[in-house]
Structure 1
Amino acid sequence: MKIGFIGAGSMGSLLIGAFVRAGAMRPGDIVVSSRTYSKLSTLADQHPGLQPVSTNMEAASGADYLFLCVKPMDFRKVIDEISSVLTKDQIVISITSPVKISSLEELLPCKVAKIIPSVVNAVGSGASLFMWGNRLSDEDQTALWKMFSSISRPIVIIEDEVRVASDISSCGPAFLACLLEQFIDAAVMSTGMERETATELACEMMLGTARLMLEQSCSPSELQAKVSVPGGITAAALEVLRKSTRGAFLQVLYTTHEKFAEDLDRVDSSLFSSERT
């Protein structure tokens, strides 16, 4: 088994670490290329047996699975470097949402999947978003599903919904962390509570909230009703919170979708500018 990674940035390194800790990959099976040697050196130190290589072609050649963990605008350069060594039986996994599966299938001779991870996969939690290419067999899909099940809960989505799904599963941890930070700041500023204590309480609260909603099939509305009673402290505070945040996430989604539309156009132009002129 050979598993190639092109790109050793935050998400590439996160996936390697998560898969190794979960036992889904052995370091000796992993080959990684990156523009930054220090990142490869760090990975090799963290996972003895992992093989750093100096070119993307070396990472791609003969890889059963090849993860493309690079920025959208770098895809064309990488594709030009590796396409000649790829074969129809290899599987390329793109973790980059603005790069379409149809574009990759047009430019590469191999099988293609798009799988969007989340930062919380580092602790074996959260979702991974699955979109299948047309060349994958049932066996290929099963193998990828099993691989990502070791670090996440795989969920199949349609590619047209990748932006909003990513907003929830991939950007969501940052959005909630932003709100949680404000909650912690307010506790510290208003009462003088130690920040460490407030942070510990907030994190345990968020973890327990997610478990309660998932394990007891409790909807957000039901959970609010469980905690608050009419005329009580929580009910009064919820009303303030709702007024303060009304429409905020709609604006967040408008912003991400507008930026995503721009990225789609830029990526498409970068991938096919020479062929379509």
Structure 2
Amino acid sequence: MKIGIIGTGNMGKILIEAFIEAGAVPPENMTITNRTLKKAYSIQSLYENIVVKETAEEVAKDADIIFLSVKPLDIHPLLMRIDHLLTKDKCVISITSPVSVKQLQSLVSCQVARIIPSITNRALSGVTLMTFGENLSAEYRDYLTEICGKISKPITISENVTRVASDIVSCGPAFFSYLLQRFIDGAVSETEITKEQATALASEMIVGMGKLLEKDLFTLPTLQEKVCVKGGVTGEGIKVLENELGDVFHHLIQKTHEKFDEDLCEVKKQFH
């Protein structure tokens, strides 16, 4: 199948690179475009068989599956422009959480899905969140699951957990890299370790922790139990986290959902 990607910003570029490097989509089967064409041609310089088109209309005409890698409020006007090219045998995919599959279905006559990627997909790992439209064929479901399975673990979610699932999968790397950076800053500030050494140690630690979880050697609770010896140093550190973190993650989820609700309202105005 031919894959089209409209928008080659951060996430669009990650999908392109991951699909190609995982062998999920051959470069010659991929057609891309971007508002700033220089970005698309920059990707073509890395994968010369990729086809760059000057307009979204050309991508929609050429591809079987079209990924819309644009901002939420840009999706409605984009679909209005290319709708006449979206025949029933094609599939449109949004990668942004505020636009639901029902909204996509209300606007176009082709098949639809939503696939929310993560920056971790660039390492051919992590999760992609999948929600399929009612009109999506079994052939497309299987194919999308297959190609996403080569760059991640595809997980199907319902509409009501879209935001929190995105918080964990897509925003999570930013949240936890921030916490890890603060951990490093604290170590450097309070001791004689250099920032470079602390960063190297912390990075290897987090990679190793991920592998422990990946291999099902420990769960998160048992991992804490194994490291946290009663009356030991780790236990004292856990006490500080318990006292000072408080409800920080409750507040974080509340804030992301507040912003999500704002985005939903703006998108709803367009689709209604």
TM band (smaller chain): over 0.9
Contact 2:31 2:62 in 1 (8 A): no
1:118 aligned partner = 118
Separation (CA, whole Å) in 1 of partners of 2:140 and 2:76: 25
CA-CA distance at 1:172 after TM superposition: 0.3
Q: Size of the alignment, in residue pairs?
A: 272
1:250 aligned partner = 250
Separation (CA, whole Å) in 2 of partners of 1:195 and 1:240: 22
Deviations 1:57-116 (A, max 9, x none): 101014111100000010121011110011111111110100011010111111111110
CA-CA distance at 1:214 after TM superposition: 3.1
CA-CA distance at 1:217 after TM superposition: 5.5
* Secondary structure in 2 matching 1:154: strand
1:143 aligned partner = 143
1:275 aligned partner = none
Deviations 1:123-154 (A, max 9, x none): 01101101111011222211111000111001
Separation (CA, whole Å) in 2 of partners of 1:196 and 1:65: 44
CA-CA distance at 1:240 after TM superposition: 0.5
Separation (CA, whole Å) in 2 of partners of 1:114 and 1:123: 21
CA-CA distance at 1:42 after TM superposition: 0.7
Separation (CA, whole Å) in 1 of partners of 2:85 and 2:148: 26
1:50 aligned partner = 50
CA-CA distance at 1:257 after TM superposition: 0.4
CA-CA distance at 1:171 after TM superposition: 0.3
Which residue identity does 2:90 align to in structure 1?
Q
CA RMSD of aligned residues (A): 1.1
Instruction: List gaps (5 residues or longer) in structure 1.
Output: 273-277
* Secondary structure in 2 matching 1:31: strand
Deviations 1:171-208 (A, max 9, x none): 00000000000011111122221222211111111122
* Secondary structure in 2 matching 1:130: strand
Separation (CA, whole Å) in 1 of partners of 2:23 and 2:135: 27
**TM superposition score normalised by structure 1:** 0.95
Q: Percent identity?
A: 43
Instruction: List gaps (5 residues or longer) in structure 2.
Output: none
Separation (CA, whole Å) in 1 of partners of 2:137 and 2:106: 18
Contact 1:116 1:166 in 2 (8 A): yes
Which 4+ residue blocks in structure 1 deviate beyond 4 angstroms? none
1:28 aligned partner = 28
* Match status 1:104 vs 2:95: no
* Secondary structure in 1 matching 2:234: helix
Which residue identity does 2:124 align to in structure 1?
G
Separation (CA, whole Å) in 2 of partners of 1:110 and 1:62: 14
Contact 1:75 1:271 in 2 (8 A): no
* Match status 1:227 vs 2:234: no
Contact 2:164 2:253 in 1 (8 A): yes
Separation (CA, whole Å) in 2 of partners of 1:142 and 1:88: 18
2:65 aligned partner = 65
**TM superposition score normalised by structure 2:** 0.97
1:182 aligned partner = 182
